[in-house]
């Protein structure tokens, strides 16, 4: 985009409320200080449209600066990220309902209408030629076992897209109907996102055998696979972020499953776990011995 185009587009999204951006980035509001949020970048305090990360001595103003900080994006990518999460031209109207999508628009191969009418699900195209790259990343850099990955690949719940990203399908119902996907970059730059139109409230990525009646909730698909390798007698589910109250959780509890909250061992993970257990007292905390389950797995390799 040229400078004038960038300025016009930036002006449309700069005033998106910071609280909305934080919620969409899976930050957790502090229970004692309503202006403080726990994020993957550390605690962030907001005052109006200004924010400060005291641990990193970083601050800024407006939604673009905040997305750049939280998602490690440059300004142009942050503008695109905001445009994809809110209908164009409406950001300055104070919309607080997030438009769920990816921070990088994927090439469409499957489409279904979002129940709320907000958008459509666009899953990335499968690219078998990039599968070796994805497998190498997951086995060599993330220490995941081929014995666990191969069934996921065979059933189509894990595949490579044409950018070489790992795609982990979120599914719903007994038919495992796709409702979205977690995307994980496999290149030199760490990158993660969601397929455009993903409906995290409708389904989830899961791994494990169906027999066990014990479930572990994890923050990402890679963590769920790592946890499943550590606890092969359990079904491991990704909540795609530290989400304390995904709408499908009640149905799992009502079906008689014992549920452990395996969120990350950090401020955001601990805060979300406390809130989940407050809402559902039968859930137990299963805290990783390191920051997350993949780090725990790597320490044992």
Q: Which two tokens stand for residue 198?
A: 């993903």
My answer on whether 168 and 60 are in the same domain is no
My answer on whether 153 and 277 are in the same domain is yes
What pLDDT is attached to residue 135? Answer: 97
Q: Residue 34 maps to which CATH number?
A: 3.90.580
Phi-psi region of 292 (alpha: psi -120 to 50; beta: other; left: phi over 0): beta
Report the domain count for the chain: 2
What pLDDT is attached to residue 93? Answer: 34
**C-alpha distances in Å from residue 246, one per residue of 147, 153, 200, 208:** 29, 26, 8, 20
Residue 84 lies in a domain: yes
Domain span including residue 189: 128-300
Residue 134 lies in a domain: yes
Q: Which two tokens stand for residue 248?
A: 């499908």
What pLDDT is attached to residue 85? Answer: 65
What pLDDT is attached to residue 102? Answer: 34
Nearest partner of 290 among 227, 232, 234, 217, judged by Cα: 227
**C-alpha distances in Å from residue 168, one per residue of 57, 161, 214, 263, 272:** 35, 10, 22, 18, 23
My answer on whether 138 and 38 are in the same domain is no
Residues of the chain with pLDDT under 70: 1-4, 84-119, 190
pTM for the predicted model, two decimal places: 0.65
Sheet containing strand 235-238, strands side by side: 205-207, 235-238, 214-218, 258-261, 284-285
Contact (Cβ atoms closer than 8 angstroms) between residue 139 and residue 146: yes
What pLDDT is attached to residue 119? Answer: 53
My answer on whether 68 and 133 are in the same domain is no
Residue 164 lies in a domain: yes
What residues are paired with 42 via a beta bridge?
Answer: 39
- Alpha-carbon span 14 to 160, nearest angstrom: 33
My answer on whether 141 and 284 are in the same domain is yes
Residue 100 lies in a domain: no
Of 45, 76, 93, the last residue of a domain is 93
Residue 199 lies in a domain: yes
What are φ and ψ of residue 97, in 5° steps? Answer: -85, 120
- Alpha-carbon span 81 to 85, nearest angstrom: 6
My answer on whether 138 and 200 are in the same domain is yes
Q: Residue 134 maps to which CATH number?
A: 3.40.1360.10
What pLDDT is attached to residue 117? Answer: 34
What pLDDT is attached to residue 153? Answer: 96
* DSSP state for residue 15 in the 8-state scheme: T
Residue 68 lies in a domain: yes
Residue 104 lies in a domain: no
What pLDDT is attached to residue 44? Answer: 93
My answer on whether 46 and 180 are in the same domain is no
My answer on whether 89 and 136 are in the same domain is no
What pLDDT is attached to residue 239? Answer: 94
Q: Which residue has the tokens 């169906």?
A: 210
My answer on whether 138 and 241 are in the same domain is yes
My answer on whether 147 and 288 are in the same domain is yes
Q: Tally the C-alpha atoms within 13 A of residue 267's C-alpha that lie toward its C-beta.
A: 15
My answer on whether 66 and 149 are in the same domain is no
What pLDDT is attached to residue 110? Answer: 37
User: Which run of H or E residues covers position 83?
Assistant: helix 75-85
163-164-165-167 Cα dihedral, nearest 10 degrees: 100
Residue 10 lies in a domain: yes
Instruction: Give 42's contacts (C-beta < 8 A, 6+ positions apart).
Output: 53, 54, 55, 56, 267
My answer on whether 137 and 240 are in the same domain is yes
């Amino acid at each position: 985009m040229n400078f004038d185009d960038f300025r016009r587009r930036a002006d449309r999204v700069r005033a998106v409320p910071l609280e909305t951006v934080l919620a969409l980035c899976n930050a957790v509001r502090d229970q004692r200080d309503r202006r403080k949020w726990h994020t993957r970048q550390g605690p962030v305090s907001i005052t109006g449209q200004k924010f400060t990360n005291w641990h990193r001595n970083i601050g800024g103003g407006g939604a673009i600066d905040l997305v750049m900080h939280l998602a490690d994006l440059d300004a142009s990518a942050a503008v695109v990220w905001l445009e994809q999460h809110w209908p164009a031209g409406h950001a300055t109207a104070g919309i607080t309902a997030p438009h769920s999508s990816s921070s990088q628009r994927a090439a469409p191969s499957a489409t279904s209408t979002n129940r709320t009418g907000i958008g459509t699900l666009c899953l990335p195209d499968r690219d078998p030629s990039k599968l070796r790259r994805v497998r190498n990343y997951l086995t060599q850099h993330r220490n995941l076992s081929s014995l666990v990955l191969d069934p996921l690949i065979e059933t189509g719940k894990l595949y490579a897209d044409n950018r070489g990203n790992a795609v982990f399908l979120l599914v719903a119902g007994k038919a495992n109907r796709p409702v979205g996907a977690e995307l994980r970059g496999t290149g030199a730059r760490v990158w993660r996102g969601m397929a455009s139109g993903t409906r995290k409230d409708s389904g989830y990525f899961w791994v494990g055998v169906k027999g066990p009646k014990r479930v572990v909730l994890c923050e990402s698909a890679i963590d769920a696979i790592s946890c499943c390798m550590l606890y092969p007698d359990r079904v491991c589910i990704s909540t795609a972020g530290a989400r304390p109250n995904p709408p499908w959780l009640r149905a799992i509890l009502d079906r008689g499953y014992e549920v452990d909250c395996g969120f990350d061992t950090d401020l955001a993970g601990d805060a979300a776990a406390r809130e989940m257990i407050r809402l559902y007292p039968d859930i137990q905390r299963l805290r990783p011995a390191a920051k997350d389950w993949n780090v725990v797995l790597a320490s044992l390799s």
